[in-house]
Each structure stands twice: as structure tokens, then as C-alpha cells.
Amino acid sequence: MLSLLFAICMIWVFGKLFIFGIKAAWGISKFIVTVVLLPLALIGLVVGGFIYLAFPILLVVGIVSLVCKN
């Protein structure tokens, strides 16, 4: 009986830690994509001569960031 109680509590604690880890990884991923990958992609498009593609992407991201403030 004590082993069953221990197993239930262990699953509960590690389940909460797992969910916390997933949320933390998602937050870090959003930060990395927003701060690092998007500007690098836009700079790469401009350097590669795709300014007509990079400018609308920049406008859409700017408008979305203005509309969806947290």
C-alpha cells in the first residue's frame, strides 16, 4: 500500500515537472525565434536580393506585433 502511494505521488510530482518543462521550452523557443531567427531570415532575404519578399514579411510581423500585445 505504501508503494502504491509512493508511485502515485511520484507520478504526480514528475508530471507537474514535465508540464513545467514543456511550458518553459515553449517560452524559450518563442523568444529564440522572435529575437534571433526572424531577423536573421529577413537579413538573409535582403542580402540574397529578395527585398520584395522580405518587406511584406516585415510589415505583417510588425502589424501583428502591434495588434497582439500581451
Number of domains in the chain: 1
Phi, psi of 56 (to 5 degrees): -65, -35
To which residue does cell 505504501 refer? 2
At CA 25, angle to CA 36 and CA 39, rounded to 5? 10
To which residue does cell 502504491 refer? 4
Q: What is the pLDDT of residue 42?
A: 86
Largest CA distance in the chain: 69
In tens, the pLDDT along 3-61 reads 899 999 899 999 999 999 999 999 899 889 888 888 898 888 888 888 888 888 889 88
The DSSP 8-state label assigned to residue 70 in this structure reads -
For residue 9, what are the domain limits?
2-67
At CA 29, angle to CA 27 and CA 32, rounded to 5? 110
